[in-house]
Structure 1
Amino acid sequence: MLDGYDCPAILVSLDYQILATNQNYRKEFGDVSIQASPRCYEVSHGYSVPCDDAGEDCPLSAVLASGHKERVLHIHQTPRGKEHVDVEMLPIFDDDGKPQFFIELLKPVAVTSVGHENGTLVGRSKRFNAMLEKITRVSKSDASVLLLGESGTGKELVAQAIHQSSGRESKSLVTLECAGLTDSLFESELFGHVKGSFTGANNNKTGLVELANGGTLFLDEIGDVPLSMQVKLLRLIETGTFRPVGSATVKHTNFRLICATHKNLMKMVGEGSFRQDLFYRINVFPIYVPTLRDRMEDIPLLVSNLLNRISKQKEYYLTDSALQRLKGHSFPGNIRELSNILNRAIVLTDTNIIDVVTIDECLSIDYEEYDDAFLDVKKTITKGEEEPHLVDLKTAEKNYLAELMTIFQHDKDKVAKVAGISLRSLYRKLEN
């Protein structure tokens, strides 16, 4: 029965014992000694108690509660290390209609990583796993996806993961960055144009919607699409038809639509800058991409992955104190900011070990730019004509830092962290 499934599968008893495995399971995860009466949570996680007693969702408990099949995303131990696995639990009922056995189907999630370098998405935090579970669910459908979240969180990587996990993987993922495009440029990029349709159109151009036929079209920063173009985009989504600029020929295309934005589209609808009908067309399945602040426990994994990407010739490592300093940073620029900091650190360090002093120097660069800008403003004001609010701001800042120094008994590391500035900036502000 288990070999009838085209994915790894095991048969589990009511008390979590693995009773049988199929060939796909043994090939993917290795042999399990059935004679030793192993429990599924011992083999998959190394736990001594069921998953729900260890702080994770347990599919078996979920089936007992609902009476029907359930699905969860877990991190399992595998011969390759820890990996994300999409787990589906199917109940087998006895004559009285009560669950007696369970078939557990395990499908590794190939587009993510929990420490090795094969995946594109990296993480293991609760917020990351919640996002990944939605990705695995929606990928198999053709539903339009709207990715929401701050800039720098990795929405384009999420779009790639959805495409790679879909039935359209063999076709193209075509991306259009909507920010900064004029009406005419947006229309030409999206639909293409024919030769001579406007000044500078010296050749025919194939539009991105045509290139995305059979695959996926990713519209990044959809909130920046010109209002006049939104009705044409809506018609494309509803009918799958379009006309290149300057052409009378109607063409057809079939693509899966993924959009992304850092803006509040619902608010824009209320303000009249985004069409309500277009909003509901693209907002079929929204996925929130968490900020780095929401998943700080993923920083060690992200750091390791980013360092490997930045420098393939030389391995770099962060000290524990350097990692702790990064975990105390607010990261308004999210993963993109973390990548910038690590790039700076590689430039500034003299060895392959990145310490806390180097990280402090990397963090201080942004604050120095702010401080210099502040000083430039002050220089434009002649002596004796200083505006009161600038004097008050500097006095208030000094008083605030002095109060923090008293509260934390002159522990400058803690004061800098609480104040949201680098240690180097703190020293400078205390001296001035």
Structure 2
Amino acid sequence: MLIATDSLNATALGHMLEGFDCPAILVASDYRILATNTAYREAFGELELEPEQAHHCFRVSHGYDVPCDQAGEACPLAAATSSGHKERVLHVHETPRGREHVDVEMLPIYDARQQLQFFVELLKPVPLASGSLGDVEMVGSSAAYHRMLARITRVGPTDASVLLLGESGTGKELAARAIHMASARKHHALVTLECSGLTDTLFESELFGHVKGAFTGAHSSRKGLVELADGGTLFLDEIGDVPLHLQVKLLRLLETGTFRRVGSTDLQASDFRLVCATHRDLPAMVEEGSFRSDLYYRINVFPIHMASLEERRQDIPQLAQLLLKRLGKGKKYRLTESAVQLLCQQRYRGNIRELRNLLQRALVMSDTNLLDRKVIAEALLDSDTAQARVSASPAAADWVDLKTAEARYLQTLMAAHGNDKSRVAEIAGISLRSLYRKLDALPEQD
């Protein structure tokens, strides 16, 4: 679809966009969109343009009045102009489905005199983080989430081994799926092995398979996960739990790409991409001798830090909405503003998994599809978060009366939010009028 033209070259390039299998647009050096391909129109909609009207990429994609770099974001067009070669950035675009993360590549186009003429912008939705809300499984807008997703989109299309590092419950299996779906292996299997709690025989049997009669109970031959992962991705979850004496067999597999089924002498080969995950401190384990250094360096090609919920506190409202859609199974549930504020005030040692459990308890306790602060507070009474607060309670000698505790609470909120009374009232779950009344009743400070 040709939108505008500066020359016949633009017309030809506009038609050339159909050769890309992802959404693509042709952009002039002054940010004007000149053409789009069919994939773009299917993903992001038609651009309703008048012939005399200029539509700029920053306005169409972001709703900005100025280029991205002037709005506080990285601008791939400006970067490509400066560097003279392809540039890539992870952006959040406005789409018919809402705000989505998009992996953007900007390709500069030169004429025969090496003068910069146009740019081809390729827009690739991030697997599991883009699409309709029914398909999205990863959400967030925090800097920590953006950094994590940027590394996933960077390494996804390659064949590099990835090591996902972070606390339990941070979504490492989802990240492994996103990496697999962004790769050329996405049409083959993603095979997962949970490494913790496996006996020696079971670990080898699960990983390499076995032949009939290899051990007691092996009544028939069975393919292992390495064999099933041929052409696809092998995800080893909690690799830090693999016993030291078994690590050498795993290392041999990774170095040679070959293996033998348990009980067999036949050597077999498997071509797979490796993704590993752990919540353990692998460098410390290497130092103490419980994890092989050669295996560590083999798997730690591209490490990705999986941010904890403490690092992603501003993502809690979005995560809660997504989890409720998953848990509701077709029934629509909503959180009141004060309920969201209460969720955001908690610390989640179990990260997203703990937040999910909390919301599931709230659904059981709620009589309606509206989850208010009271329901969330009741659900918190049985949670690990509540237990942590109890264990951190002050000694009896430090206890104060309710009026004093409320005064300290309001004073702390006011100080933390720069005396923004509207914000403080919102967090405290009271009206602005009630807040003024309570502040007036506070004792004067010296």
Q: TM-score range by the shorter chain?
A: 0.7 to 0.9
1:145-164 superposed matches below 5 A = 145-164=162-181
TM-score by length of 2: 0.82
C-alpha distance 59-399 of structure 1, shift in aligned 2 (>3 A): farther
Q: Distance in 2 between matches of 1:316 and 1:160?
A: 27
The 3-state SS of whatever aligns with 1:219 is strand
Q: Unpaired runs of 5+ in structure 2?
A: 1-12, 417-427, 429-446
Alignment of 1:24 onto 2:63: no
Q: Distance in 2 between matches of 1:351 and 1:48?
A: 43
**Corresponding residue to 1:10 among 20, 25, 45:** 25
Aligned amino acid, residue 16 of structure 1: Y
Q: Distance in 2 between matches of 1:200 and 1:369?
A: 46
Shift of 1:163: 1.4
Alignment of 1:295 onto 2:347: no
Aligned amino acid, residue 214 of structure 1: G
Aligned amino acid, residue 397 of structure 1: A
CA contact (8 A) 1:405 1:411 kept: no
- Bigger shift: residues 287-296 or 98-107: 98-107
**Corresponding residue to 2:95 among 78, 97, 112:** 78
Match of 1:397 in 2: 395
Shift of 1:94: 6.4
CA contact (8 A) 1:183 1:228 kept: no
CA contact (8 A) 2:125 2:131 kept: no
Task: Provide Cα deviations, 1:136-166, integer angstroms capped at 9, x if missing partner.
Answer: 2222221111111110001001111111222
- Bigger shift: residues 271-280 or 41-50: 41-50
Alignment of 1:130 onto 2:147: yes
- Bigger shift: residues 404-413 or 75-84: 404-413
C-alpha distance 59-248 of structure 1, shift in aligned 2 (>3 A): same
**Corresponding residue to 1:106 among 108, 113, 123:** 123
Match of 1:46 in 2: 63
Q: Distance in 2 between matches of 1:173 and 1:407?
A: 53
Alignment of 1:215 onto 2:232: yes
CA contact (8 A) 1:11 1:104 kept: yes
Q: Distance in 1 between matches of 2:102 and 2:74?
A: 13
Q: Distance in 1 between matches of 2:76 and 2:121?
A: 9
1:377-388 superposed matches below 5 A = none
Shift of 1:110: 3.5
1:335-350 superposed matches below 5 A = 335-350=352-367
Q: Distance in 1 between matches of 2:233 and 2:178?
A: 11
C-alpha distance 235-397 of structure 1, shift in aligned 2 (>3 A): same
Match of 1:326 in 2: 343
Shift of 1:9: 2.2
Aligned amino acid, residue 332 of structure 1: R
Aligned amino acid, residue 3 of structure 1: H
Match of 2:407 in 1: 409
C-alpha distance 348-407 of structure 1, shift in aligned 2 (>3 A): closer
Match of 1:388 in 2: none
CA contact (8 A) 2:346 2:385 kept: no
CA contact (8 A) 1:113 1:123 kept: no
Q: Distance in 2 between matches of 1:13 and 1:208?
A: 50
The 3-state SS of whatever aligns with 1:132 is helix
Q: Distance in 1 between matches of 2:188 and 2:289?
A: 36
Task: Provide Cα deviations, 1:99-130, integer angstroms capped at 9, x if missing partner.
Answer: 45322121222421487221232223332222
Task: Provide Cα deviations, 1:393-423, integer angstroms capped at 9, x if missing partner.
Answer: 98x53355549975861548979xx9xxxx9
C-alpha distance 313-414 of structure 1, shift in aligned 2 (>3 A): farther
Q: Distance in 1 between matches of 2:412 and 2:207?
A: 51
- Bigger shift: residues 168-177 or 338-347: 168-177
Task: Provide Cα deviations, 1:207-244, integer angstroms capped at 9, x if missing partner.
Answer: 11111111111100000001001010001011111111
The 3-state SS of whatever aligns with 1:103 is strand
Shift of 1:198: 2.0
The 3-state SS of whatever aligns with 1:122 is coil
- Bigger shift: residues 174-183 or 224-233: 174-183
- Measured on the aligned residues, the alpha-carbon RMSD in Å equals 2.8
* Identical counterparts, % of pairs: 57
CA contact (8 A) 2:163 2:299 kept: yes
CA contact (8 A) 1:75 1:83 kept: yes
C-alpha distance 56-408 of structure 1, shift in aligned 2 (>3 A): farther
Q: Distance in 2 between matches of 1:299 and 1:115?
A: 19
Q: Unpaired runs of 5+ in structure 1?
A: 375-392, 424-432
CA contact (8 A) 1:75 1:82 kept: yes
Count residues in correspondence.
398
CA contact (8 A) 2:137 2:322 kept: no
Q: Distance in 1 between matches of 2:312 and 2:92?
A: 16
Aligned amino acid, residue 338 of structure 1: L
The 3-state SS of whatever aligns with 2:65 is coil
TM-score by length of 1: 0.84
Q: Distance in 1 between matches of 2:76 and 2:52?
A: 24
Aligned amino acid, residue 19 of structure 1: L
